[in-house]
Amino acid sequence: MSIHVPTRIGVLTGGGDAPGLNAVIRGVVKAATQLGWEVLGFEKGYEGLMPPARYRVLDNENTKGILHLGGTILGTVNRGRFTAKVGEGQERQIEPALLEAAHATCESLHLRGLICIGGDGTLSIAQQLYERDVPVVGVPKTIDNDLECTVITFGFDSAVACATEALDRLHTTAASHERVIVLEVMGRHTGWIAVHAGVAGGADVILIPEIAWDLDGVVRKIRQREAAGRPFTLVVAAEGARWPDGGLVARATGASAIGEIQLGGIGQRVAEEIQARTGKETRCVVLGHLQRGGPPTTFDRLLATRFGVNAVRLIAEGRFGRMVCHHPPDAVDVPIAQAINRLRTVPPDGDLIRTARALGISFGDG
């Protein structure tokens, strides 16, 4: 008598969370269930693959109602043993013994494929596992939108919506008090969130890592606005926008933490300088993790769902070591190796920046 063993796949979420992770998980479970497959959800990213493996069987019942839920039901970590990026994004090799242990878990559970949902760091680990014969498939996630090979990552639209709403709110209070308000947004080493939200939210000055700026340029814009009868100004500062001397503004990281430096603090420094140089009352708001939490936008739900379904398709087709990506109107895929270790930055002479400049937005450089 032969016993039917269902095809089994795994899924995990790694790195910082982003709105839409649960929508991917749900998409994976629904598509896999249609094929009669079983899905194991590993907890806390790659840590869940370490013996004794920590996972639960995911099905339509226990993943219902999560489509619109922020965070990840599987948990995640972005520092610790499975960290592929350190400092300012330099690559780090994962200890061979850890990769071997992860490989052994996948073998012993007879996984036909392992779906790794994450950004550059998580996908770099996926690639290292793939090179050790683990049948991985990647799904790109990051609010920073800095991954190569995909026009957009899920989570980005939700983060931009959050920052844009913040600007709408700050606009009315800045105007009422005739103040300057600096909004510091996330984005790590790129300015995608800052520029998208800045243009959509009517900012006057946007400071990003891709364009060198100085305080004279910022002050000039504030003065110009005053001269034109607009005595308030909204400034958006990307957390990774380098200070005019070229340095990053970062918070201290715990001595024992392996991982990337924790950016933050530029908004306050810019605000203090503006107040000192103009005498105008200036405030700083740090949007922080509000950009990462909460429900995904409609766009992100749809994109994440499509990614989840297409990741299952890649496993069904036996196409491993690949990452699904968005090239409207299609979801396509590329080798993971092609997408990682290459930061996708905002082109300083692209249409986005040209449009902003045409609107009179200053990047602090003129």
**Residues labelled catalytic:** 144
Stretch that binds ligand F6P, among 141-149, 160-168, 319-327, 352-360 (CB under 6 A): 141-149
How many residues contact ligand F6P, by CB under 6 A? 12
Ranges of beta strands (E only) in the chain are 8-13, 38-42, 55-58, 85-86, 90-91, 111-118, 136-140, 180-185, 205-207, 233-238, 250-251, 262-263, 282-286, 322-327, 330-335
- Residue 186 is a binding residue for ligand F6P (CB under 6 A): yes
Tell me whether residue 105 is exposed, middle or buried, using C-beta atoms within 10 angstroms of its C-beta: 0 to 12, 13 to 18, 19 or more. Answer: buried
* Subset of 76-115 contacting ligand F6P (CB under 6 A): 78
- What the block records as the tokens of 41 is 């959800």
Could you say which DSSP state residue 296 is in? P
Shortest spacing between CB 74 and ligand F6P, in angstroms: 17
* Subset of 219-248 contacting ligand F6P (CB under 6 A): 239
Give the β-pairing of 90-91 and 85-86.
antiparallel
Residue 239 in 3-state DSSP?
coil
Asked if residue 155 lies in contact with residue 143, where contact means CB atoms within 8 angstroms, the answer is yes
Tell me whether residue 311 is exposed, middle or buried, using C-beta atoms within 10 angstroms of its C-beta: 0 to 12, 13 to 18, 19 or more. Answer: buried
- What the block records as the tokens of 221 is 């814009």
Answer for which of 14, 48, 118, 187 binds ligand F6P (CB under 6 A) is 187
Shortest spacing between CB 291 and ligand F6P, in angstroms: 7
* Separation of alpha carbons 186 and 29, rounded Å: 31
Stretch that binds ligand F6P, among 108-116, 184-192, 308-316, 349-357 (CB under 6 A): 184-192
* Subset of 17-76 contacting ligand F6P (CB under 6 A): none
Shortest spacing between CB 61 and ligand F6P, in angstroms: 31
Shortest spacing between CB 317 and ligand F6P, in angstroms: 30
Answer for which of 262, 275, 278, 338 binds ligand F6P (CB under 6 A) is 262
- What the block records as the tokens of 202 is 């009517």
Q: Which is nearer to ligand F6P, 312 or 336 (CB)?
A: 336
- Residue 292 is a binding residue for ligand F6P (CB under 6 A): yes
For the chain, the 3-state helix, strand and coil shares in percent, each to the nearest 5, are 35, 20, 45
H/E run at residue 356: helix 351-358
Q: Which is nearer to ligand F6P, 111 or 186 (CB)?
A: 186
Q: Which is nearer to ligand F6P, 342 or 357 (CB)?
A: 342
Shortest spacing between CB 239 and ligand F6P, in angstroms: 6
- Residue 14 is a binding residue for ligand F6P (CB under 6 A): no
Asked if residue 213 lies in contact with residue 364, where contact means CB atoms within 8 angstroms, the answer is yes
Q: Which is nearer to ligand F6P, 94 or 286 (CB)?
A: 286
Q: Which is nearer to ligand F6P, 143 or 183 (CB)?
A: 143
Interface ranges with ligand F6P (CB under 6 A): 16, 78, 142-144, 186-188, 239, 262-263, 292
